[in-house]
Amino acid sequence: MASLRENETKTLLALRDAGGRSTVESIVQASGLTDSSVMRAALTLETSGLVKVDETKRTKLELNDEGREYAENGLPERRLVKILQSMGGRTSKEAVLRAASLDANISVIALGWLSRKRWATIEKETQQLRLLGEPSEGSDEKLLALLKEGGAVVVDGLSDELRKAAETLKGRKIAEVRVEAERHLELTEAGKDLVNKGIKVTTEVSELAPELIVSGRWKETKLRAYDIRAPVASAWPGKKHPYLRFLDELKRRLAAYGFKEMTGPNVELSFFNCDALFMPQDHPAREIHDTYFIKDPDHGNLDSYGKFLENIKKTHEDGWKTGSRGWGYKFSKFEAARLLLRSQTTAASARTLISRNLEVPGKYFAVARCFRPDVIDKTHLTEFNQVEGIIVGEDLNLMNLLGVLEKFAVDVAGADKVRYRPDYFPFTEPSVELNAYKEGYGWIEFGGSGIFRPELTLPLGVKVPVLAWGLGVDRLFMMKAGIDDIRYIFTQDLDWLRRTEAV
């Protein structure tokens, strides 16, 4: 075992004086060392088998500014009750509120808690506030008194009644919860034997200063030894974000399957995002709650797509040559020219189908950013990536599509099994929703697929079947990486980013 350093000796002596076990904070006070110095010494002593380090987490509750005001002057409902009592126990609601001088929003809250605690009631006909007996001190008020006295309390040490009161204060947003980690150090048997034999603090230096050399004091000075076996902090080399590496690997896999990449702009014409996909211009998904429209400029130019525009216009209105009756409305070229943020990568598929470079047979994919004004939660974002794929060729059918989807879910997302559900999209028939399952993770919906309808392909000049799918690539990564919150893909948690392997 390497000889003890100055800080390690001080830590051992402080532990001995504390009876063999103490908190880091107590050792800091007793030894005069900093918190970081004690922890560095403790980790070295733990490696040497002289000290054991453990950690206890405590949940503390403390009042915020509003809570401290209530602790000092009483909860607003208690103040109303006192005024009501002084007015004889029954009077108009307005008179009580006026006497209490509470803000309008606080008055509403106070009246609500009066009713909830059954301290008073408002008579509907007269709008008078009437006392319901003698209001006793509630558990929330008892906890407020404790917090006023001590500043903070450890939730784990409270009674069941006061724990419920803690939830109440937290719910009323007048108290906040924080988790503290308290580290304890304890002498092992080897540590006790060592301090019992006797150790003393020897001052050490980590570098020779000029004055030590000039004065000659370096001869009596002990240089701090370096233990090359001591643990060091983990080093994290720079690397690409795990999700970006996943996207790169996804593109490589699709290319290996024989797919060619297709692209399209983030700011898209409604013509490609909706009209070319046989989505009627009065479809709910085209309204503001499902689409981000561009404010300036608000319209683009359709002159380059004249022939396709006319075919699509006729298909919407009466079905054109597709065998369909269309949607039966007057198609608006002005509406088709509206600019928006692409809401689906199928727009890139429509652009590919009119390309002069389209190969039949051919396989194409796109991994692209899409935008929808969704409510953000653990499975939805307003910006997300989709992987879109199309296969163009003779004699393609639904079984071909299902086979591709299964291979995709198993090979890319690591799914154990898949299932399909009938679905509806304006641009495919039949339409299928892909769900995948992974042991320990559960079922997750990946997205939709189907065979493009003739109302989409024929106006674009394509006369063979086209298999298509659009899957949430973010969700593919979630299953592959074993995370259940889509927001974590874009987290700034450095520990997670450093330790998560690229998948």
Q: Which pLDDT tens digit goes with each residue over 271-318?
A: 999 999 999 998 887 775 588 999 999 999 999 999 999 999 999 999
431 near 277, Cβ under 8 Å?
no
Q: Which of 158, 166, 175 is nearest to 70 (CA)?
A: 175
- The confidence score (pLDDT) of residue 231 equals 67
* pLDDT band at 246; cut points 50, 70, 90: confident
DSSP single-letter state for residue 207: S
The answer to which of 80-84, 199-203, 338-342 has the lowest mean pLDDT is 199-203
- The confidence score (pLDDT) of residue 317 equals 96
Q: Which helix (H) or strand (E) holds 470?
A: strand 466-472
Residues of the chain with CATH 3.30.930.10: 244-264+345-499
Is pLDDT at 7 greater than 90 in this prediction? no
* pLDDT band at 1; cut points 50, 70, 90: very low
- The confidence score (pLDDT) of residue 300 equals 95
Amino acid occupying residue 5: R
Percent of the chain with pLDDT strictly greater than 70: 96
> How far apart are alpha carbons 137 and 187 in whole angstroms?
47
Statement: 65-175 belongs to CATH 1.10.10: yes
The per-residue b/e assignment along 318-346, b for 16 or more CB within 10 angstroms, e otherwise, is ebbebebebbeeebeeeebbbbbbbbbbb
Q: Which helix (H) or strand (E) holds 286?
A: none
Tens-place pLDDT, residues 469-487: 888 888 878 877 788 888 8
Tens-place pLDDT, residues 170-204: 888 888 888 888 888 999 999 898 888 888 766 66
Residues of the chain with CATH 1.10.10.10: 6-58+180-223
Is pLDDT at 65 greater than 70 in this prediction? yes
Backbone angles phi and psi of 146, in degrees to 5: -65, -45
**CATH topology for the 244-264+345-499 domain:** BirA Bifunctional Protein; domain 2 (3.30.930)
CATH code assigned to 6-58+180-223? 1.10.10.10
* pLDDT band at 88; cut points 50, 70, 90: confident
